[in-house]
Amino acid sequence: MRTHPGVAQLMFKTLSDKGINISVISTSEIKVSVLIPEEYVELAVRALHSAYELDVA
């Protein structure tokens, strides 16, 4: 995270844009973790996958 500014910001914005509320946030120098309601897990994974351009083959 220290060498990649904006990673957490993109995650928070993406989840917010999808209406997904974050219950808990945990960060360190190398990772960010969030706790969200179970019913939003698939939506969150798909949205973050697209936001970080991981769906480009």
SS3 track for 11-24: HHHHHHHCCCCCCE
- Which pTM was predicted? 0.86
The overall average pLDDT reported for the chain is 92
Q: Tens digit of pLDDT for each residue in 19-40?
A: 999 999 998 888 899 999 999 9
- Does residue 15 contact residue 34 with C-beta atoms inside 8 Å? yes
Pick the CATH number of 7-51 from 3.40.50.10860, 3.30.70.260, 3.30.200.20, 3.50.50.60: 3.30.70.260
Q: Can you give the residue ranges of every domain in the chain?
A: 7-51
